[in-house]
A and B are shown apart, each in its own frame.
Chain A
Amino acid sequence: MKPIIKMENVSKFYRKVPAIRNVDFDLRKGEIHALLGENGAGKSTLTKIMAGVVEATDGQMLYKGKPACFATPNEALHAGIAMVFQETSLVPSMTVAQNLYLGSENFLNRLRGIYISAQQFLQSLNFQVDPRALVATLGAASQQMIEIARAVHHNAEVIIFDEPTATLTPEEKRHFFALLRRLKESGVSIIFISHALEEALEISDRITILRDGELVETGDTKDYDRDRIIAAMVGRTLTEEIYGEHKERETRKAGKRILAVHDISMGTIVRNTSFSVFTGQITGVFGLIGSGRTETFKVVSGVFKRNFKRGGSIELEDRRVRYLTPAEAVADGIIYVTEDRKGEGIFETMGIGENLFGGLLASGHNKGWIVRRKDIRDLATQWIERLNIKAINADARVVELSGGNQQKVVIGKGLCQKPRLVIFDEPTRGVDVGAIAEIHQLINDLADQGIAVVVISSYLPEILNLSDRILVCRQGRIVEEFTPEDATEETVMYASVH
């Protein structure tokens, strides 16, 4: 059968860091094709290239047998490729019908007309949504359904779903799968990205597994079962280059309990989770995207507030604490090193020195009220050497550095606050291979110094390699704990998917 989309030798690099490398992929007409892999395996990047969201660095894409290169998502949409994103791209202040027809309105846009046709259209899909309702008033699941309806409405021949079922209830999920089958019968080709392996096994015709940016294997779904998929997802090639063999190492003994969390809750994301953190060892936290791992620790570090009522309790060295701002947590020696470097980590108009100095200043460890240029320069020289930051000089702007060096600045900013508990959230995301090893060394050194360290990661080898204790987060709570001896990639992965 002739494929409708064929990707030939496609690569994409973000600032010289490969997101996918030399991927050959094909999508047949009228099939449901599940795309599986860990976080960061390159699933999203691959599909974003098809949908014109990002441009491939290398390789080419054939659409209906002809080379195609879409500069914008809109071009791809008009050619017949629609993508339904994880985060919805609806306009919250407009009604359902207006969103459905967004971008395809007639010149004279009569609201009555679109409400009637939207009603009929939604009914034909068996979606129970009022076309006159404002999108902002709808729940996540309904928004997802409108997003799907919009793709269908554009008569797309290829629809890409990125984690479509994460927000759906079982009932809605059944409707959604029925819809997928109907679409398939009418000749639409579907790419389905998911973390839920059972869903992929249930709905798809073929499965492709990506790992570390490379395509591992493609095959008919009937040849697969859960274990084979997991084995393919975690089997390593590139990993072994970085992490080497599973190193023989001594597990650090737990020091004293510095943090005890009982039953904390925040909205629907963190749900009654309890755990402890000890000094002098690394506590690894593994969880897939949406499992609430980041949010849990943002509550601990005061970035988010836990529920006011029935929010649980947090004890720092047997003292009950409730942080309203990160400032209070910092004063108690709790540092959160963010996963979102650009959004909430670095100060982009400033140099390395000033970025680091911000941490020192905020922690109150800087003597007095006067800020001297020399202090900033000295601090920069000291940390550039200690963290081996590669920059032309101490005044180099942070945006000009590579991802790895930016990450080191963000870490340094926290470390000069003299922390007792450091929470690293995805410390090596978007970081080049050389810097990963250095950052890991740094994390190990901190634990050896007796500091309590938490490493949150969705990258299994990182967790297994660093942790003295592994916590697994799923659906807003810590569900399982492993010792490094018990933990294998398979068992940890198994605990984190449901």
Chain B
Amino acid sequence: MNLSTFNQERIVLIATVLVVIFAAIVLPGFLNVTNLISIVRSISVLGILALGMAIVIIGRGIDLSMVAIMAMSIAWYLQMLHTGYGETEALMLVLLAVVFIGAVNGFLVAYADVPPIFVTLATGLFVFGFVRSQLIPSDAVTVPAGHWLEAVGAARFAGIPVDVFVFLTLAFATFLFLRFTKWGRYVYYAGDNPAAARNIGIPVRPMLVLRYILSALFSFIAGLLTAASLLSIQTRVINSNLLYDVILVAVIGGIGLSGGKGGVRNVLIGAALIGILLNVMTIANISLLLQNLIKSTILLAAIILDGWLNPRDEQTAQQGDI
């Protein structure tokens, strides 16, 4: 058996199975239905964000503005409803703003050649600062009584919250996009080798803008679901380590930060491991500090193992630092 069949994806899958087995034996109540449902629900929002992040990372970028877009777009949307805008009007305005921010991200990365990590860090902070100071009066905005988001939050199919179905639908749609459509395949070509992609005539830069718009839209959907389940949106979520968890999910599942590698399956596996792990650690009453330590250790281990088993470039890996 070839050693490199143990790629990161499989390592993580094995780890997930081990965690499940361990938890099922040691922790009573882990395997009961309510807990399992709470696991899948908890990874839905995280998973949707990770899908958007995955599309960007596969194309050799990163989007640090996702959480800001998620929280601030919804906060503004709800605030507009409170101040008397019509439903369609508010929704249109907020969608326009979301697409605009995504396009700004993409434009700055593609046409102004600014590294994505700085562009999205800055736009994320800008969005937060602008909306919080100019458009909404307080940190949290509630969902107005009788709004359709209430119904979404309360809806259940076969006892499973709607979030889960939204996540699965989006995952499937992303899978179809990345695997079977022309533009989806372009993401991989541009992520693997941007110069070669440009040479063979792929419109590399417009595609880049598209990816950041997609990730912004995914953030918006994740925000809607958050608001639906909590009946309000807390803008301070920007200061939490949610963004870190999103990147963790994408990267731990095996989506290479160097681009061109991975797919929806990797997001699902990553989300499963992180969701289950968070659940187990909460049931086992492990403190938040220790949880972060454990998460980061797993991430480091996964990246190091993957780099060791699957060097991206054999020649460079062998020749060392010349």
Contacts and interface: CB of A to CB of B under 8 A. Distances in A.
A326 B201 contact: yes
B313 interface: yes
Contacts of B14: none
A361 B322 contact: no
B322 A344 contact: no
B196 A362 contact: no
B232 to A, nearest CB: 41
Interface stretch (A208-216, A347-355, A485-493): A347-355
Given A303-B198, A327-B202, A327-B203, A349 B182 contact: no
Interface in A357-379: 357-359, 361-363, 366, 369-372
Given A327-B202, A366-B182, A372-B180, A344 B196 contact: yes
Contacts of B205: 325
Contacts of B188: 347, 350, 354
Given A361-B186, A366-B182, A350 B199 contact: no
A414 interface: yes
Contacts of A327: 198, 201-203
Contacts of B185: 357-358, 361, 371
Given A326-B200, A370-B181, A371-B185, A347 B260 contact: yes
Interface string B166-206: 00000000000001111111101100110111111111010
A343 interface: yes
Interface in B226-274: 260-261
B113 interface: no
Nearest to B202: A362
A348 B182 contact: no
A232 B121 CA distance: 60
B201 A371 contact: no
B312 interface: yes
Nearest to B179: A371
A329 interface: yes
Q: How many interface residues does chain B have, given as a range?
A: 20 to 34
A330 interface: yes
Nearest to A343: B195
Contacts of A345: 196, 199
Contact of B200 (A53, A348, A359, A366): A359
Contacts of B261: 349
Contacts of A343: 193, 195-196
A72 B322 contact: yes
Contact of B193 (A348, A363, A370, A417): A348
Given A326-B201, A359-B200, A362-B201, A371 B181 contact: yes
A325 B180 contact: no
Contacts of A73: 322
Contacts of A258: none
Contacts of B180: 370-372
A399 interface: yes
Contacts of A369: 181-183
A348 B188 CA distance: 11
B314 A399 contact: yes
A49 to B, nearest CB: 12
Contacts of A394: none
Contacts of A372: 180
Nearest to A400: B314
A371 B192 contact: no
Interface string B292-322: 0000000000000000000011100000011
A265 interface: no
Contacts, number: 96
B201 A330 contact: yes
A84 B198 CA distance: 33
Contacts of A361: 182, 185-186, 202
A399 B260 CA distance: 14
A244 B180 CA distance: 48
Contact of B189 (A303, A329, A347, A417): A347
A73 B197 CA distance: 34
A359 B201 CA distance: 8
Nearest to B313: A348
B181 A347 contact: no
A346 B196 contact: yes
Contact of B195 (A331, A344, A358): A344
A474 to B, nearest CB: 26
A442 interface: no
B168 to A, nearest CB: 22
B246 to A, nearest CB: 23
B199 A326 contact: yes
Contacts of A344: 193, 195-196, 198-199
Contacts of A293: none
A348 B192 CA distance: 7
A405 interface: no
Contacts of A330: 200-201
Interface string B270-300: 0000000000000000000000000000000
A369 B260 CA distance: 20
Contacts of B314: 399
A348 B198 contact: no
Interface string A88-122: 00000000000000000000000000000000000
A50 B227 CA distance: 67
Nearest to A397: B314
A281 interface: no
A348 B196 CA distance: 10
B69 to A, nearest CB: 28
A291 interface: no
A363 B260 CA distance: 20
Interface string B56-86: 0000000000000000000000000000000
A296 interface: no
Contacts of A329: 201
Contacts of B202: 327, 358, 361-362
B199 A349 contact: no
Interface in A404-461: 413-414, 417
A347 B199 contact: no
Contacts of B195: 343-344
Given A349-B261, A371-B184, 16 more contacts: A325-B205, A326-B200, A326-B201, A327-B203, A330-B200, A330-B201, A336-B199, A344-B198, A358-B202, A361-B185, A362-B186, A362-B189, A363-B200, A369-B181, A369-B183, A399-B314
Interface of B: 179-186, 188-189, 192-193, 195-203, 205, 260-261, 312-314, 321-322
**What are the 9 A-B residue pairs with the smallest beta carbon separation, nearest first?**
A330-B201, A344-B195, A362-B201, A327-B201, A347-B192, A362-B202, A349-B260, A362-B200, A344-B196
